[in-house]
């Protein structure tokens, strides 16, 4: 490891002083990793506009980073880098796929995001049969995208197509039978083809920041899916079968138009789900189906219209993080005392008549946020929450603060601004 660190240091020095003249790669022919991104050379010689053909001498090279330069082409001599496994060319000025890339037969990871490449060039990559990771974010926009040739990459496990203006996917998406992670964030997708249900090995799917109105029922066939991000779409309902994905651990639904009745189909995933985000929706009540997800560890339900909590919330005994802010809650349910493992509680922008006593039973609590909650007093028992590290009680109406604050030895962040405090506890007067 020490030899590699020394090499990288030497490369940086050489590039800073001699790249603009006639830099030679022969001296480092045994290097396995080379970083020529602008972070190393920008301040001395500007961004690289061409790559010297002598890079062919780095025959042991496995990883090459050329991100953030001004490259428009690559030398054909790169074909001699037979051991190259990772090639990163993000944020350059390629308008066509350099032909030499197709000769790098041992390539496992290719990153081409942020260039001016037409997205359809990806159809030419089928010869890279060892490719496992492919990033094609922010290329030239295309309305409809086909996976016909990409589907032939039997080793491909990760594919990212963020921010490409894709409005429609054709049925060939079903050819990605070996894919494990698929990222389609920030396109213009309105619908999904039913063939998406063919991706039996898919574990992570990101469809956030699109314009999806509904989802195909076939998504319930994604039997190995563990993480699904549907945030910032236009969804009004969920497929009934979505709850049948028994391995689903993370479901992000933030920023849609879902109502409380949208969760009636939660069935088998109740056992596996650990993180659920339904913030910024139109929930008018707390869906009791969520209370059956007994392994939930993180539940985010902020920015809805939930004014009360069901008794069944006490069933969520494994919760570590709970966010109910910006709902206008008038009280907390006493059954919440069962949430013994709670570490983070956020219930800001509530309408409490008094400080909720049940909070005082969360002895494992490390973070408590109660700003803008109409509080007129703070109980002395707050000092019993000795594991608190962060406490925010700003923008309330209390006039004094208990001296028991001195018991909170772990506290590193305390916010009390915009209250009516006239008497400062002695602990703050020194």
Asked whether residue 272 is assigned to any structural domain, the reply reads no
Asked whether residue 338 is assigned to any structural domain, the reply reads no
Asked whether residue 416 is assigned to any structural domain, the reply reads no
Asked whether residue 194 is assigned to any structural domain, the reply reads no
Radius of gyration of the chain (CA): 27
273-285 pLDDT, tens digit per residue, is: 999 999 999 999 9
Question: What confidence category does residue 366 fall into, taking pLDDT thresholds of 50, 70 and 90?
Answer: very high
Asked whether residue 262 is assigned to any structural domain, the reply reads no
3 state DSSP class of 259: coil
Q: Which helix (H) or strand (E) holds 277?
A: strand 275-277
Estimate the crossing angle of helix 38-45 against helix 2-18, to 10 degrees.
Answer: 30
CATH number where 47 lies: 3.80.10.10
CB 87 within 8 A of CB 109: yes
From residue 73, how far is each of 22, 48, 264 by CA, in Å? 19, 11, 54
- Where does 75-220 show beta strands of DSSP type E? 86-88, 109-111, 133-135, 144-145, 158-160, 168-169, 181-183, 204-206
Report the domain count for the chain: 1
**pLDDT for res 355:** 97
Instruction: Give the C-alpha separation, 110 to 137, whole Å.
Output: 12
Predicted TM-score of the model (pTM): 0.91
Q: Is the pLDDT of residue 298 over 70?
A: yes
- Distance, CA of 135 to chain centre: 16
Asked whether residue 20 is assigned to any structural domain, the reply reads yes
Q: Is the pLDDT of residue 324 over 50?
A: yes
Instruction: Give the C-alpha separation, 73 to 57, whole Å.
Output: 19
88-145 pLDDT, tens digit per residue, is: 999 999 999 999 999 999 999 999 999 999 988 787 888 899 999 999 999 988 888 9
DSSP 19: T
CB 380 within 8 A of CB 357: no
Q: Is the pLDDT of residue 15 over 60?
A: no
User: In sequence order, what are the beta bridge partners of 323?
Assistant: 300, 346
Of 184, 243, 247, residue with least CA distance to 219: 243
Share above pLDDT 70 across residues of the chain, in percent, rounded to a whole number: 90
Q: Is the pLDDT of residue 40 over 80?
A: no
Q: Which helix (H) or strand (E) holds 298?
A: strand 298-300
Least trusted range by pLDDT, from 141-145, 168-172, 208-212: 141-145
**pLDDT for res 19:** 43
Strands 390-392, 133-135: parallel, antiparallel or unpaired by DSSP? Answer: unpaired
Asked whether residue 102 is assigned to any structural domain, the reply reads yes
From residue 2, how far is each of 8, 20, 35, 261, 387 by CA, in Å? 10, 28, 17, 59, 41
CB 394 within 8 A of CB 418: yes
**pLDDT for res 120:** 81
Cβ-based neighbours of 42, under 8 Å, separated by 6 or more: 68
Asked whether residue 73 is assigned to any structural domain, the reply reads yes
If one compares 261 and 44, the residue with the highest pLDDT of the two is 261
Of 168, 227, 226, 178, residue with least CA distance to 198: 178
Of 336, 331, 278, 276, residue with least CA distance to 303: 278
Question: What confidence category does residue 297 fall into, taking pLDDT thresholds of 50, 70 and 90?
Answer: very high
**Span 373-390, mean pLDDT?**
97
Residue range of the domain that includes 35: 1-117
**pLDDT for res 425:** 66
Q: How many helices (H) and strands (E) does the chain have?
A: 2, 19
Q: Is the pLDDT of residue 429 over 70?
A: no
């Amino acid at each position: 490891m020490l030899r590699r660190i020394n090499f990288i240091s030497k490369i940086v020095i050489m590039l800073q002083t001699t790249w603009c003249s006639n830099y030679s790669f022969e001296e480092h022919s045994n290097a396995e990793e080379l970083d020529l991104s602008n972070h190393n050379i920008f301040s001395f010689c500007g961004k690289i506009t061409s790559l010297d053909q002598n890079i062919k001498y780095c025959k042991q090279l496995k990883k090459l980073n050329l991100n953030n330069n001004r490259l428009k082409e690559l030398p054909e001599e790169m074909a001699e880098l037979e051991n190259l496994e990772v090639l990163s060319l993000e944020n350059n000025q390629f308008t066509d796929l350099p032909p030499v890339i197709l000769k790098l037969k041992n390539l496992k990871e290719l990153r081409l995001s942020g260039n001016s490449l037409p997205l359809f060039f990806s159809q030419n990559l089928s010869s890279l049969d060892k490719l496992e990771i492919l990033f094609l974010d922010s290329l030239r926009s295309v309305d409809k995208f086909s996976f016909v040739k990409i589907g032939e990459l039997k080793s491909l496990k990760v594919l990212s197509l963020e921010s490409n203006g894709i409005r429609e996917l054709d049925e060939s998406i079903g050819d990605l039978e070996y894919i494990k992670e698929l990222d389609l964030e920030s396109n213009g997708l309105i619908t999904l083809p039913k063939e998406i249900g063919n991706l039996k090995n898919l574990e992570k799917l990101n469809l956030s920041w699109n314009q999806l109105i509904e989802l195909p029922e076939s998504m319930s066939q994604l039997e190995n899916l563990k993480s699904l991000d549907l945030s910032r779409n236009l969804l009004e309902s969920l497929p009934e079968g979505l709850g049948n994905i028994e391995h689903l651990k993370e479901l992000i639904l933030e920023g849609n138009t879902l109502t409380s009745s949208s969760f009636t189909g939660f069935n088998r995933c109740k056992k596996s789900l650990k993180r659920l985000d339904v913030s910024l929706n139109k929930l008018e009540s707390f869906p009791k189906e969520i209370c059956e997800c007994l392994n939930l560890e993180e539940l985010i339900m902020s920015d809805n219209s939930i004014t009360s909590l069901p008794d069944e919330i006490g069933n969520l005994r494994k919760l570590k993080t709970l966010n109910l802010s910006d709902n206008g809650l008038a009280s907390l349910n006493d059954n919440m005392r069962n949430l013994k493992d709670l570490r983070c509680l956020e219930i800001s922008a509530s309408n409490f008549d008094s400080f909720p006593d049940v909070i005082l039973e969360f002895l494992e609590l490390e973070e408590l946020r109660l700003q803008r909650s109409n509080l007129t007093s703070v109980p002395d028992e707050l000092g019993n929450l000795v594991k608190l590290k962060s406490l925010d009680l700003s923008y309330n109406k209390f006039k004094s603060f208990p001296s028991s604050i001195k018991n909170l030895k772990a506290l590193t962040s305390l916010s009390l601004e915009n209250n009516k405090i006239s008497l400062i506890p002695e602990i703050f007067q020194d």
